[in-house]
Amino acid sequence: MDTGISVRKGKGRYRDTHIVTFAPRYLLDNRSTHKLAFAQREFARGKGTVNPGGYISTLPGSSVVFHWPRNDYDQLLCVRLMDTPNCTWSGGFEVNKPKSFHVNMR
């Protein structure tokens, strides 16, 4: 599982303490008005409108923690609209690079 780790020194009476924070590496934030499904590309490939095992879904306005089910496969994420009939999976896209892009779904 991908985990972010932050270490900082305490302040005041805790100055001799190191505070270690563990957080999920990826948080998928659904800011759309649709229910979304997410899956690693290898699992979504060729599935059309079917949700594969291991997919994660989010309701509109909610967030979900994500980790790669298989590290030996390409780390590319696919998404599809669950509340739109016949909506197929998007192509895979990278989530670990800071950039902005559009995802096309049919």
- Confidence band for 57, pLDDT divided at 50, 70 and 90: very high
**SS3 category, 53:** coil
For 84-93, write each residue's pLDDT tens digit: 999 999 999 9
The reply to whether 8 falls in a domain is no
Hey, CA dihedral for 77, 67, 43, 58, is it positive or negative? negative
What's the pLDDT at 103?
81
* Residue 32 lies inside a defined structural domain of this protein: yes
Q: Are 8 and 18 in contact (CB under 8 A)?
A: yes
The answer to whether position 41 is within a domain reads yes
Cβ atoms 89, 39 nearer than 8 A: yes
Asked whether residue 1 carries a pLDDT value surpassing 60, the answer given is no
First to last CA, the chain: 31
Q: Is 42 helix (H, G, I), strand (E, B) or coil?
A: helix
Amino acid identity, position 35:
K
Which residue range(s) make up the domain with 38? 26-81
Q: Does the residue 54 lie in any domain? A: yes
- Count of domains observed in the chain: 1
pTM: predicted TM-score of the whole model, two decimal places: 0.77
Cβ–Cβ < 8 Å for 83, 35: yes
The pLDDT of residue 90: 92
pLDDT for the residue numbered 2: 62
